[in-house]
Every structure is written in C-alpha cells, then in structure tokens.
Chain A
Amino acid sequence: MKLEHYTFGDTWNKVIDSSLDSPQTLVLVFGSSNLNTVKKPLQEIQTHFSNSVIIGASTSGEIVMDELKEDSLVVTVIKFYTTQIKLATHPVKDAKDSFNIGETLAQTLQEESLKSIFILSDGLNVNGSALTDGFNSVIGKKSIISGGLAGDAATFSDTWILINGEAKSHYVSAVGLYGDNVHVSYGSKGGWDIFGIKRNVTKSEDNVVYELDNQPILDIYKKYLGEQAKDLPASGLLFPLGVYDKMDNEKIVVRTILGIDEETNSITFAGNIPKDSTVCLMKSNNDRLIDAAHTSSHQLLLQEHQTEPLLVIAISCIGRKLVLKQRVEEELEATLENLPKETLQVGFYSYGEISPSGLLGCDLHNQTMTLTALWENDA
C-alpha cells in the first residue's frame, strides 16, 4: 500500500496529491469539532479523493506522529494494491438502538474475506459497549474490530462523523478491509490505578448511573473533585470509574464520563454499568499512563511486517490528555519508540476506544491508548 498524510492548520502543510485517489483508496480524516475550521478543507478532500472511501471523525485533539494538534484536520491517504474496501454507515436516533446498529453494520460488512473492521462513531449519542456487542454478535472473533468514538475537544456538546463528505452528528460509520494481503494488529493499555474504597452500584440503567452505595454518584464525584467540580463533566475524567469483572475480581473495565445530569444527580458513562456491579474510583499517575502507552505498542504483533509502509492509528482517551496536560505528547513518543522508524502514526483523542478484548471479540475501552497497526504485502 502507499501512504500519504496531510495536515491542515491555517493552510495545508503540503500540496494535496490526487494521484492516490482510487476505489481502493481509504482516506482517514480526524479533525476539529469546530465545523468552521474544518468545513473548507473537508470539501477539498472530498474533491481530491472523489473515488476513494473517506471516513472521519471529530476529535479532542489530533495525533500526527508524536505531535498533538488542536483545531486542525489530519488526513491520511492509504492506497491499497489488492485489498478491497467497503463502507457502511448508519444514523443513530436513540442510544438504545446501539446494539442493533452494530449488528446491522456488521451484517452489511460481513463477507468471507473480511479481515478487519474499523469503526468511527458519534461520541456522545451512542452506547459504546452496546455498539461493540452488536458487532460481536455477528463477527465474533473472526475479524479484528477496532476504532473509536468521536471527541469534541472536552466540551461534551457535539461530535461529528463524516458521511458522504459531510460532517454529521448521530452517525456511526464502519469500513471493512478484505483480502489476504492486508495485515491488522492491535494493542490497548490504560495504566490507571484503583483509588479508595470499593462501592456497589445501587441504582443504574444501561450506561447511566444514579447511585453508589445508596448515595447519588454525582455528589460523590463533586466531593472528590472539590473546586474542580465546576468543570464537570470534563473534570470527571480525572476519576474514571473502574468496574470489577463479576467473574474475575482481578479484571477491571474502566468507564469514562460522557455527561452529567444535575436534575437526576446522575452520570452517563461511555459503556454500560449494571446495577449491583462493584466499582471503584480510579486515579492517574503520569508515569504509569506513559508506560501503558509504551506497552500498548509492545502488544502489536508485527513479526510478519517487513519493510512495507506501516500505518498505526493511535486512539487515546481525552481523559489521558486532560491528566497529562503538557506531557501528553510523551505518550505519543512512547508508542513510537517500539515501532519501526518509518511508521506513520496518526490518530486522535476520543470519548472511547474500540479494540479486541477477552474471549468475545471487540470491546469498548476507556482511558486507554489503543493502537491499530495496518500494512499490506507489497504488490
């Protein structure tokens, strides 16, 4: 495959070369949630790559190599030699439909030669764990499914997904890669520490939690955040919720905050948190977060990769960015340390990461650095 990437700040970093445009070209676009910033460059991409499959999402920060970009548009062009590409999209009317949407998209993309699916989803109006469950119900572990939920800086107001060249909220897009020549690998790691006492979820509904140990969850978060409670829901990312696995008490799934409701004293999380779950608050340690990013790139299985161009899509959680602050790029450097020199790393800070996990297929992750490595045998 051939790789090219472009960055739009105030202008494009280089002249766009349309020669890679083809039906076997996949264009990945990660950009600012501010439509005024990205509207024009998006149109230009659409014009230059009219025959290609274009997918994209708004972000809470764009990643190019070891740099974090803000209010930009990062475009990656991948022209495959033999790999086939298929795009499927679906509108989201209600987050409760998330499972069915995942199932429908997976059915659309399912074929014998399907190697991998890459998902970009609305970040605020989708129940991420139900969406991945829907994909798993059709695909299971047969193909690698990865991707992420769109971000919007850290305003939690509106995210977009690229649909036919237009930035739209309330959508999920997924692209399937087909053929024996394409290789996909993945890695994902959080690095958060459990903090304080274990608590019982005494009232919740899907991904909305109302009470822990019979106390309103929002009160608990406000108590812990102190002065920073005024910055909720963004500041809630400083203390994600760890959900203990019922079967394996050593395993914890991290769930990040998507929104709060002052009227019902509730918090909406990126994935389901069933009633009677055991949970605990989690806190960060900068060094461990960066170590975890390093570990995620270690998890990539690159033994079969030789000298072909290698794309690594890094999807990291907005919570990590808020915690790491000016040190955030250290985790981008950490992932690259383990990768071949010519690797192109692009990606974004998101409201949820998707990659395979455990026995059942893919899962929604939160507060992780999640990597998808992609290369194609040379022609």
Chain B
Amino acid sequence: MHKLLKRQLKKTAATVDEKFLTLINQAYVDADEDRTLLEHSLEVSSQEMRELYEKLEHSAKKQLQESKDKYEALVYELRNSYFFYAYDTSSILTYLSESIYNILGYSPEEGLGKPFKVFLNNHPMNHTIPQLAQNLFAGLTQDPHHVAFNHKDGSVRYVEINSYPVFDENDVVISVEGIARDVTIQYKTQEKLSYLSNHDPLTGIANRYNLYNKLEHIIKDSKRNKKHFTLMYIDLDKFKEVNDTLGHDSGDILLKQVVQRIQKEIRGNDVFARIGGDEFVIVLIDINKTYIHSLAEKILAVLNEPFVILNMQASISASIGLATYPDNGEDIQTLLKNADNAMYKVKDNGKNGFLHS
C-alpha cells in the first residue's frame, strides 16, 4: 500500500471498502509514477537542451571569430590598397586620406593644397587625364581608369582611380571626389605577361606573333602614306653543325651573340624578330636599296667573324633574302614567302650572301 494512503488510514482510522481502497491506492501509485517520469524526462530534456545550447554557443563564437578575422583582413587590405581624394575645380587637392602614405609614401599634408598632377608620373597612360578631368568638371561620370603615380621612393605605382563629380544645390560641379586602388602588382604582372607573349624568351627580341602584329600596322601605315619598307630574312648557315658538335647550350649562346652583333648594326627602332630556330627577320622602313644592301653586307661580315662559345671557337655565316613592300608583295604572307625564296636561292648558290627578290 502507498505510504501516504497508509498514514492517512492510520490517522483517520477509517474503514474503507477493499475494492475502493485498491483503486485509491492505484491512483496514488500512478500519480507518483507520472511525476517520477515527468521529472526524469524533464531532466533528460534539459540536459539535451544544455548540450545543444553549448554546441550552438561554440558554433556561434567560432563564426563570430571567423567573421571578425575576415573583417580585420578586409580593413588591412583596404588600408594598404586604397586611398580617398578630393580636388577642387582648379585641380587643387582638398582631401587625401591617411592611407595614401601606404600606397605613395606621402603624408596627406605633403599633397594638400597642391595640384592633383603633383603625384603623376609621365607614363603615356596618363595622357588622357586632362580630358578625364574636364569631363568630370562638366558633370560627367567616368569609368574607372588606370593612372601611374610616383612613389616618394622614386618607384612607379599603378593605381585604378574611380572619380565622380560633386554638385552644389544649383547642380554646379564644385569638386571631384574619388577612390584610388593600388593595382601595381596586377599591372606589373599584366605587363610581364604581355612581354612574355610578344618576345623570344632566349634572345629577348620580338617573336613571330609580335612580328606579325607589327607588320599589320606597318603595312596599313605604308599603304596610307605611300611608303615602302623591306623585309630582311636572315637564316644562319652551319648553325646545325654548331648545335650538333658543341651542344644545344652552346647553340643558345651563339644565337644570343648573333642577336647582339646584328643589333649593333641596326637602328634601335627597327623591328627585329626571331621567327624560328635560326631564322630572323628585320623590318627596315623607308630606307633605300643601297643602304639596305650595305646593311646586308655588314651583317654578313659581322657574322663571319668567329664566335667564342665556352672557350671554343665557332664559325658560321648567313644567307639573307630581301623583299620590299609593295614591289615584292602587299601582304605579310607574300612578302615573307618572297624573302624566304630569295634566301633559299642564296643558300643554293653557296650561302653567305644576300639576294633581293
């Protein structure tokens, strides 16, 4: 019998029907069982909720720390990559953010009150800046553009600037504000990639791709201005023998020396390209035949001089074919083909010479 019921019966000395007593006793027992189960299940549930809370708290803290780290990294990135500026309609700087120091090495005080152009480098890309400034003063927004700045240490910094005009209440432009982003690394990477795609990695002179691009422009220009130019196609004689006897490394050294010798004979702005293993092309613009022939002879002569490669001597010669625009062709393929044919005729006639097609 349930303890409480037993006590109650004892205290009251009641006489109760046996069946009724059984039901009451069962109700007491049931109530105890229900309460025990409820308390137990609430404890289990509370424990699960505590565990879940701790798990969520841990995960929330972790997420908070991660976003804080990202935020700090972003602020660091902003401080080292961006500065803000403003200049008036006379292009005099009226505001520079502190972060200009991280990018150009100057404090804001060193620039304020001075013309915007004080920091500009004389890089060709800056030639459009006066026009851009005029557009901004006229109230026109401008797409972001690249500008070359001088760093205080003398180096050049490439910056993407995004400027916009500021208007007064009468819609008159009173100043220009903007944000500048340091893109020096990206710019230099791009420049390097551009150089690699246009130059022969061994000798540093133009490659075939570069030659074709330049020839396209030269042909257009020559057509427009009724000028002429000559392709000088140079193929080394006996180069294969050097390669076979002294090795490929020696062959590479020889090619570099060949380029150096030829470069001494031509003008700095003449297009000089390596288009194959031992094949070179020089583009000579607006030069008469006599000079070209004497240049060909000079080149043959300097290449006839012995080469010293890794303490060993090597002798080579060259066969040169010439083709002149427009007499020997009006497009790249025809001109190159005719110069190549002339060069082969020289080879057939004993090499070490030149021929104009």
Segment at the A interface, from B45-53, B149-157, B266-274? B45-53
Chain A residues, Cβ within 8 Å of B249: none
Other-chain contact of B41, A197, A239, A326 (Cβ < 8 Å)? A239
Interface residues as binary, B41-70 with A (CB distance below 8 Å gives 1, 0 otherwise):
100110011001000000000000000000
Interface residues as binary, A181-202 with B (CB distance below 8 Å gives 1, 0 otherwise):
0000000000000011100000
Min Cβ gap A215→B in Å is 11
The answer to whether B52 and A224 touch across the interface, beta carbons within 8 angstroms, is no
CA distance A283 to B26 in the complex (A): 22
Assuming the A-B contacts A195-B45, A196-B48, are A238 and B30 also in contact, with contact meaning beta carbons closer than 8 angstroms in the complex?
Answer: no
Assuming the A-B contacts A224-B41, A224-B44, A225-B37, are A196 and B49 also in contact, with contact meaning beta carbons closer than 8 angstroms in the complex?
Answer: yes
Within 8 A of B (CB), among A320-379: 325-326
Q: Does A223 contact B (CB under 8 A)?
A: yes
The answer to whether A197 and B30 touch across the interface, beta carbons within 8 angstroms, is no
Instruction: Label chain B's interface by main secondary structure.
Output: helix
The answer to whether B52 and A197 touch across the interface, beta carbons within 8 angstroms, is yes
Min Cβ gap B254→A in Å is 71
Chain B residues, Cβ within 8 Å of A195: 41, 45
Instruction: Label chain A's interface by main secondary structure.
Output: helix
Select from chain A the residue with minimum beta-carbon distance to B31: A325
Chain B residues, Cβ within 8 Å of A197: 45, 48-49, 52
CA distance A228 to B41 in the complex (A): 11
Chain A residues with a Cβ closer than 8 Å to the other chain, count: 14
Chain B residues with a Cβ closer than 8 Å to the other chain, count: 15
CA distance A227 to B33 in the complex (A): 10
Select from chain A the residue with minimum beta-carbon distance to B51: A197
Interface residues as binary, B1-36 with A (CB distance below 8 Å gives 1, 0 otherwise):
000000000000000000000010011001001001
Assuming the A-B contacts A326-B26, A326-B27, are A226 and B48 also in contact, with contact meaning beta carbons closer than 8 angstroms in the complex?
Answer: no
Min Cβ gap A1→B in Å is 38
CA distance A225 to B30 in the complex (A): 15
The answer to whether B30 and A326 touch across the interface, beta carbons within 8 angstroms, is yes
Q: Does B123 contact A (CB under 8 A)?
A: no
Assuming the A-B contacts A196-B45, A196-B49, A197-B48, are A226 and B30 also in contact, with contact meaning beta carbons closer than 8 angstroms in the complex?
Answer: no
Select from chain B the residue with minimum beta-carbon distance to A283: B41
CA distance A326 to B30 in the complex (A): 9
Min Cβ gap B158→A in Å is 53
Min Cβ gap B263→A in Å is 73
Within 8 A of A (CB), among B131-180: none
Q: Does B227 contact A (CB under 8 A)?
A: no
The answer to whether B30 and A325 touch across the interface, beta carbons within 8 angstroms, is yes
Assuming the A-B contacts A197-B48, A197-B49, are A226 and B40 also in contact, with contact meaning beta carbons closer than 8 angstroms in the complex?
Answer: yes
Chain B residues, Cβ within 8 Å of A225: 37, 41
Min Cβ gap B30→A in Å is 5
Chain B residues, Cβ within 8 Å of A196: 45, 48-49
Chain A residues, Cβ within 8 Å of B23: 326
CA distance A270 to B38 in the complex (A): 24
CA distance A283 to B45 in the complex (A): 12
CA distance A317 to B257 in the complex (A): 101
Min Cβ gap B35→A in Å is 12
Select from chain A the residue with minimum beta-carbon distance to B39: A226
CA distance A227 to B49 in the complex (A): 21
The answer to whether A228 and B37 touch across the interface, beta carbons within 8 angstroms, is yes
Within 8 A of A (CB), among B106-136: none
Chain B residues, Cβ within 8 Å of A325: 26-27, 30
Chain A residues, Cβ within 8 Å of B40: 224, 226-227
Chain B residues, Cβ within 8 Å of A239: 41
Min Cβ gap B2→A in Å is 14
Min Cβ gap A191→B in Å is 16
Hey, which bits of chain B sit against chain A, CB under 8 A? 23, 26-27, 30, 33, 36-38, 40-41, 44-45, 48-49, 52
Hey, which bits of chain A sit against chain B, CB under 8 A? 195-197, 223-228, 238-239, 283, 325-326
Q: Which are the 9 A-B pairs with shortest beta-carbon distances?
A: A196-B45, A226-B40, A325-B30, A224-B41, A224-B44, A326-B27, A223-B44, A197-B48, A197-B52
Q: List 5 A-B contacts (CB under 8 A).
A: A223-B44, A226-B36, A226-B44, A283-B41, A326-B26
**13 extra interface residue pairs, beta carbon distance < 8 Å, beyond A195-B41, A225-B41, A325-B26:** A196-B48, A197-B45, A223-B44, A224-B41, A224-B44, A225-B37, A226-B36, A226-B40, A228-B33, A238-B37, A239-B41, A325-B27, A326-B30
